[in-house]
A = this chain, B = another copy of it.
Amino acid sequence: MNDGQGRVARAGGRGARRAMRAAPDFEMLPALKRGLPECEPMTPEQVARIDDASMSILEEVGVIFRDDIALADWRRAGARVVGDRVYLDREMVRDLISTIPSGWTYRARNADRSLPFGGRHSIFVPMTGAPFLRDLDDVRRWPTIGDLNMFHKLSHMSPALHSSAHHIVEPMDVKVSHRHLHITYSSMKYSDKTFMGMTTSGKNAEDVMAMCEILFGREVMEETPVTTGNCNGNSPLVWDETMLSAMRAFIRRNQPVLCSPFVLGGANTPASVAPAVAQLNAEALSALAYTQVIRKGAPAIYGHYLSTVSMKSGAPMAGTPEISLMNFMIGQMARFYGVPWRTSNLLGGAKTFDAQAGYESAMTMNAVLHAGANYIWHSAGWNEAGMHCSVAKFVVDAEICAMGYRMAEGPRWDDFEAGLAAVRDIGPGGHYLGHPHTLENFERAFFMPRLFDNNSIEQWQAEGSVEITARALAHARALLRDYEEPKLDAGVDEALRDFIARREREIPAEDALNTEY
């Protein structure tokens, strides 16, 4: 039984627990099994109304697929195609998405870290795609491959993070056309958790699939997913060739993609929550349906990126109430269709790791947990609207995920009678701190944040008035000192390196563009 803070309760009594507590414990938490009921603001009639509106959009407005292969696929599948616009009947959409599995097991390199996924199971995945970082000295600068390795190590050591993701930061010192190779290698090498696969082009995605085959073997991949790609839509109602070709590379090999319309509320959607959800839902359905045209029965994930747009700057904002509402509603739609869904977590728009970042991030996490999301991406490090990944915020976010995990599990009842017996023991006016039930249960019962300071002001001042950024950076340095690499099998490692070397020779330096967000 796991206590939600990375400690696994074992037999052996208090002494064993003390010993365990003394040693740093980086054991990954199992996939979260949510115990809280979801926040569902829509009645069944309102869910049906969104569904009907989305289906009408697909039937009457249509969706542009800027990709000849996809258009040919759709024609073959019986859709009405006019130019690059595809019109999809609701019966066809329902029929296609009906074969998407409602869940599966994500296979990790370390089989003990494989994850059940879908339904009430949720996983936390760090942020990706930052063109800048705030580093171990809180300096904002361009990231290197060394910085990316560092974030993969921190992901590996964070109990509540279930994945090392992929390009947490963009390694700017690696040629764009070779980047996907080195990013994938770093994800595979520095952590044995699940990871994400680059979808920056169809060819890059093929390379990622080839590297997954080296690591896992084709049979394992046919049996169960080993990675996840992200495919953003261009809202309103457009899917482009880059994303669709990457989608094909993944889906053909039974690897799921997040079908993610990219919502800037009021800019590329109507200026209203419910109609924006109807449009997003149509977009997601069109891509989910296409995954089943590519390969019937392949796993796929209902995705989105949700933001509202600042009237002042046009920038995406985080933590606003409409983002929470859209999350709740999209969760209902995904459950209505029986498809697992992805959201974005712990987003901040602040320029530094200040109170704004804290409010925005916690607002986001609460929304996505109450919404019941399955693939909880961008769960550590995101600030400045995704322009940088902050080392300090990364390690704090990882702990916040552990707190959210504990909340979302819901209350325990297994020690209810024992707790009541303590009430009778203590009686009115007593205190519990020395009671055996307290000594036995205190740590397991109550989450103790390591990176929040709960000392008195006098103690805090005596320790140098250290604010959270400095505390978090010291913690990150300590983690990196304790890091132990989960070694790749030597033969696999060599095969991966050989593959990368060969592909670097083959890829003309000029032929790739990094367009993923």
Please list the residues of chain A having a beta carbon within 8 angstroms of any beta carbon in chain B.
4, 35-37, 39-42, 46, 49, 53, 56-57, 60-64, 85, 140, 234, 236-238, 265-276, 278-279, 308-313, 315-317, 319-322, 324-325, 328-329, 349-363, 366-367, 370, 384-385, 387, 393, 396, 400, 403-407, 410-413, 415-416, 418-420, 422-424, 426-433, 437-438, 440-443, 445-449, 451-457, 459-460, 465, 467-469
Contact = CB atoms under 8 A, between A and B. Distances in A.
Contacts of A352: 467
Contacts of A356: 358, 451-453, 468
Nearest to A272: B419
Contacts of A443: 311
Contacts of A440: 271
Contacts of A359: 358-359, 361-362, 396, 400, 452
Contacts of A411: 41-42, 273-274, 325, 329
B428 A237 contact: yes
B61 A423 contact: yes
Given A41-B37, A452-B317, A267 B420 contact: no
A355 B395 CA distance: 13
Given A61-B427, A427-B237, A431-B268, A315 B404 contact: no
A195 B420 CA distance: 38
Given A351-B465, A445-B322, A428 B64 contact: yes
Given A274-B416, A351-B465, 6 more contacts: A57-B423, A140-B457, A271-B441, A274-B413, A321-B406, A355-B393
A467 to B, nearest CB: 5
A445 to B, nearest CB: 4
A76 to B, nearest CB: 21
A313 B438 contact: no
B269 A432 contact: yes
Contacts of A423: 57, 61, 236, 270, 275, 278-279
Given A266-B433, A432-B271, A469 B322 contact: no
A351 B355 CA distance: 12
A61 B424 contact: yes
A413 B357 contact: no
Contact of A354 (B272, B366, B429, B467): B467
B468 A272 contact: no
A46 to B, nearest CB: 7
Contacts of A324: 407
A438 to B, nearest CB: 4
Nearest to A399: B359
Contact of A432 (B140, B266, B350, B420): B266
Contact of A366 (B63, B366, B467): B366
A429 B234 contact: yes
Given A57-B423, A423-B270, A429-B237, A449 B363 contact: no
B321 A403 contact: yes
Contacts of A447: 308, 320-322
A295 to B, nearest CB: 25
Contacts of A234: 429
Nearest to A316: B454
Contacts of A56: 420
Contacts of A387: 457
A430 B236 contact: yes
A446 B320 contact: yes
B236 A428 contact: yes
A453 to B, nearest CB: 7
Nearest to A471: B356
A358 to B, nearest CB: 2
A398 to B, nearest CB: 12
Given A321-B403, A355-B393, A452 B349 contact: yes
Contacts of A46: 413
A313 B456 contact: yes
B321 A407 contact: yes
A355 B422 CA distance: 37
A61 B421 CA distance: 11
B429 A271 contact: no
A78 B499 CA distance: 85
Max count, chain B CB within 10 A of own CB: residue among A37, A320, A452: A452
A246 B162 CA distance: 53
B41 A428 contact: no
